Amino acid sequence: MTRLSLALWLGPMEVHFKPDVEAKIKALASDTGRDPDELVQEVMAAHLDVLAEVRATLDSRYDDLESGRVKPISGKAFFESLRQREEELLKKSS
């Protein structure tokens, strides 16, 4: 379902923001010369696209783990590896 068909299917939606968030939206809309409703729609659409990308990445990583294509490592091992790489980079830059 495309975003447009989803919007048509859901129909109009009313969203209530806390006063501080609403003030930020109005200020940004005013600063950019845009309609606040259009600004919120654009921001939400972009945010939902990012969430969909993150969800797809997480699903893919989970599938990689489940299939055995990649092996999990402990947090301790990861941070030790990260610390070693940082030390190597610091030595190279000295």
Assigned domain for 53 exists:
yes
Its pTM stands at: 0.60
- Give the pLDDT score at 7: 55
Structural domains counted in the chain? 1
pLDDT digits (tens, 9 = 90+) for 36-50: 999 999 999 999 999
Assigned domain for 65 exists:
yes
- Give the pLDDT score at 12: 77
Print the domain residue range for 38: 16-93
**pLDDT by 10-residue block (mean), the chain, 94 residues:** 57 88 96 94 94 96 95 94 95 84
Assigned domain for 29 exists:
yes
- Give the pLDDT score at 94: 74
Instruction: Please provide residue 14's backbone torsions phi and psi, each rounded to the nearest 5 degrees.
Output: -110, 130
- Cα(44)–Cα(72) distance, integer angstroms: 34
